[in-house]
Chains A and B, each alone.
Chain A
């Protein structure tokens, strides 16, 4: 359990720190539909539905972030 917590904190720290400073105008690739966390929401919802009807685990996916970062 403690290793799990340490792993989570380490991953978060890694995510935040090992990151390049991407300029707002360099987010062209991130703006593309295929670069979104969930590029096809309908496919994703259908899949999730199949899998949680047939398996014991469920959920976990998140919302938001990434993308063009436009204001």
Chain B
């Protein structure tokens, strides 16, 4: 009896592992329509701009680190057509507001408490960012935020802006 249970458990295990990932491949960025602090925003509204789409939450420490950098990017490149959109995934809006009071954002913040947009982008980790070019195609996906990577990220942004 125990060896049958064991085999079933092993099969369940393999089954579980097989289904653990569905990654987002580079391609057209899925459209979305989300509330922001200033009305509703759809991705299609941003056609012609390079979008740095970031997914964050108040409980994510690297997210806290990424905000000053995103502010800097918005300041430096918005004239060249960059729009930073940070999609908040907190289930409790109050937590997001508290965070924004402590770490102000100079860029657009959108709210996706149910995670539907995160799901459509198959967000692989917290935080994750997608560089979407002027034609609405995903050029790069970056998982996490580490200060040592910010130079590379900025280089990818500049390359997307130059096209």
A and B touch in the complex (CB under 8 A): yes
Check: B109 CB closer than 8 A to any chain A CB: no
Choose among A13, A18, A19, A25 the residue that contacts B55 (Cβ–Cβ < 8 A). A25
A28 close to chain B: CB less than 8 A: yes
A26 cross-chain contacts in B, Cβ below 8 A: 115
| Stretch touching chain B among A45-53, A54-62, A63-71 | A63-71
Q: Name which of B13, B15, B61 has the most chain A CB atoms within 10 A of its CB.
A: B13
Q: Are B119 and A21 in contact, CB atoms less than 8 angstroms apart?
A: no
Given A6-B2, A70-B60: A25 and B10 within 8 A (CB)?
Answer: no
Q: Are A9 and B6 in contact (CB under 8 A)?
A: yes
Give chain A nearest CB distance to B34 CB in angstroms: 14
Interface size of A as a range: 20 to 34
CA distance A6 to B1 in the complex (A): 12
A13:B13 contact, CB within 8 angstroms = yes
Complex Cα spacing A69 to B57, Å: 12
CA distance A70 to B145 in the complex (A): 9
B16 nearest CB neighbor, chain A only: A17
Q: Which residues of A are in contact with B by a Cβ distance under 8 Å?
A: 6, 9-10, 13-14, 16-19, 21, 23-28, 31-32, 68-71
A to B CB contacts below 8 Å, 18 in the list: A9-B9, A13-B6, A13-B10, A13-B12, A13-B13, A17-B13, A17-B15, A19-B16, A23-B115, A24-B118, A24-B124, A25-B123, A28-B57, A32-B59, A68-B60, A70-B62, A70-B127, A71-B62
**What residues of chain B have their CB less than 8 Å away from a CB belonging to chain A?**
2, 5-6, 9-10, 12-13, 15-17, 19-20, 55, 57, 59-63, 89-91, 115, 118-119, 123-128, 143-145
